[in-house]
């Protein structure tokens, strides 16, 4: 499927790019090219979406501005396609802008006492494309032990739009009132939602499909001992914890620090 237009948000008329231009000393471009190739792949892998879903594609045919170029390709629903580009652009941009603008675009190197037009190493990733990579890879149909199946959106918790859903087990016995206090507190830290419609099992499925990493359920026991159950989206395991612990548990799971530190592994 490599139709030019119309591949959902893979190829849009209007899109957002996240680009980095790294200015370097001429002659060092090969080493920085390797550095950024490796660094950017590590960033992708830190999200835990499967090492097998990425590969490098080194360009044979170089664009007019590059002396080396590679793509990080991702396994989209329609096969491996470009997700991010890493380009060694030499002094093509700055040299050309010097010529057309008549302004010097140079750096004075104090160590060598010389001026030079910096070389540029660029990384460029489409935000919408990254969105599609994350979204499509996360959407899964799972067969469950009891013979049923569920649709679950296993977004990396750090990226999930809603971090937790708070659910009173039933819509009576004072449970909704107690449950509502939890999002009123957690909302200062996270995007959370409150849901009391339908049976609790259906609400779990709804949050699974929505990509919410945690469901917090308020039971009758909550009224007695201030504990709730917290259900993990991916494992569907539940544990009983104190309401006062919730903030810390969620924070640990969704904090960017935790996820980005995996780049160091």
Partner 1 sequence: MASQEDNFKKVISHAKEYGYVFQSSEIYDGLSAVYDYGHNGVELKKNIREYWWKAMVQLNENIVGIDAAIFMHPTTWKASGHVDAFNDPLIDNKDSKKRYRADVLIEDYVAKIDTKIEKEVKKAEKRFGDHFNKEKFLETNPRVVEYVEQGKSILSRMAKSLEKEDLADVKALIEELDIACPMSGSKNWTDVKQFNLMFGTKLGASADSAMDLYLRP
- Residues found near partner 1 in the complex (CB under 8 A): 1-6, 8-9, 11-14, 16, 18, 20, 22, 43, 47, 60-61, 63-65, 77-79, 92-93, 96-97, 99-101, 125, 127-128, 130-132, 134-136, 139, 151, 153, 155, 158-162, 191, 209-211, 256, 259-260, 263
State the minimum distance, in angstroms, from the CB of residue 50 to partner 1: 16
Instruction: Compare residues 12 and 236 and give the one whose CB is closer to partner 1.
Output: 12
Instruction: Compare residues 101 and 146 and give the one whose CB is closer to partner 1.
Output: 101
Buried b (16+ CB within 10 A) or exposed e, 229-265: bbbebeeeeeeeeebeebeeebeebbeeeebeeeeee
State the minimum distance, in angstroms, from the CB of residue 100 to partner 1: 4
Instruction: Compare residues 63 and 223 and give the one whose CB is closer to partner 1.
Output: 63
Instruction: Compare residues 101 and 113 and give the one whose CB is closer to partner 1.
Output: 101
| Residue 93, CA distances (Å) to 65, 100, 124 in order | 8, 11, 15
Q: How far apart are CA 60 and CA 191, in angstroms?
A: 45
State the minimum distance, in angstroms, from the CB of residue 115 to partner 1: 20
State the minimum distance, in angstroms, from the CB of residue 61 to partner 1: 4
State the minimum distance, in angstroms, from the CB of residue 221 to partner 1: 31
Helix ranges (DSSP H) in the chain: 29-45, 92-101, 127-138, 175-186, 200-210, 220-225, 246-254, 256-260
Instruction: Find the helix or strand (DSSP H, E) in which 19 lies.
Output: strand 17-24
Choose among 189, 165, 186, 168: nearest CA to 177.
Answer: 168
Instruction: Compare residues 125 and 179 and give the one whose CB is closer to partner 1.
Output: 125
Instruction: Compare residues 84 and 166 and give the one whose CB is closer to partner 1.
Output: 84
State the minimum distance, in angstroms, from the CB of residue 170 to partner 1: 25
Q: Are strands 164-168 and 192-194 parallel, antiparallel or unpaired?
A: parallel
Q: Backbone phi, then psi, for 8, in 5-degree steps?
A: 55, -135
Q: Are 218 and 248 in contact (CB under 8 A)?
A: no
Instruction: Compare residues 134 and 167 and give the one whose CB is closer to partner 1.
Output: 134
Q: Are strands 139-143 and 68-76 parallel, antiparallel or unpaired?
A: unpaired
CB atoms within 10 A of CB 211: 21
State the minimum distance, in angstroms, from the CB of residue 91 to partner 1: 13
């Amino acid at each position: 499927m490599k139709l030019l237009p119309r591949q959902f948000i893979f190829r849009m008329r209007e899109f957002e790019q996240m680009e980095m231009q790294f200015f370097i000393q001429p002659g060092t471009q090969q080493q920085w090219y390797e550095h950024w190739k490796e660094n950017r792949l590590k960033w992708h892998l830190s999200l835990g979406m499967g090492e097998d879903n990425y590969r490098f594609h080194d360009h044979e045919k170089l664009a007019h501005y590059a002396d080396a170029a590679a793509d990080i390709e991702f396994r989209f629903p329609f096969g491996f396609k470009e997700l991010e580009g890493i380009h060694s652009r030499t002094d093509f941009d700055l040299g050309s802008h010097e010529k057309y603008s008549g302004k010097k675009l140079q750096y004075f190197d104090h160590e060598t006492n010389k001026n030079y037009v910096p070389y540029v190493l660029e990384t460029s990733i489409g935000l919408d494309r990254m969105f599609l990579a994350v979204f499509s890879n996360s959407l899964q149909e799972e067969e469950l032990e009891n013979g049923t199946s569920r649709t679950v959106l296993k977004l990396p918790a750090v990226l999930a739009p809603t971090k937790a859903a708070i659910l009173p087990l039933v819509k009576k016995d004072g449970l909704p009132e107690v449950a509502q206090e939890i999002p009123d507190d957690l909302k200062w830290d996270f995007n959370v939602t409150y849901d009391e419609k339908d049976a609790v099992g259906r609400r779990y499925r709804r949050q699974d499909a929505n990509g919410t990493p945690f469901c917090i359920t308020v039971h009758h026991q909550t009224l007695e001992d201030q504990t709730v159950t917290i259900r993990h989206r991916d494992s569907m395991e539940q544990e009983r914890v104190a309401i006062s612990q919730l903030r810390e548990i969620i924070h640990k799971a969704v904090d960017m620090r935790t996820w980005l530190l995996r780049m160091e592994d």
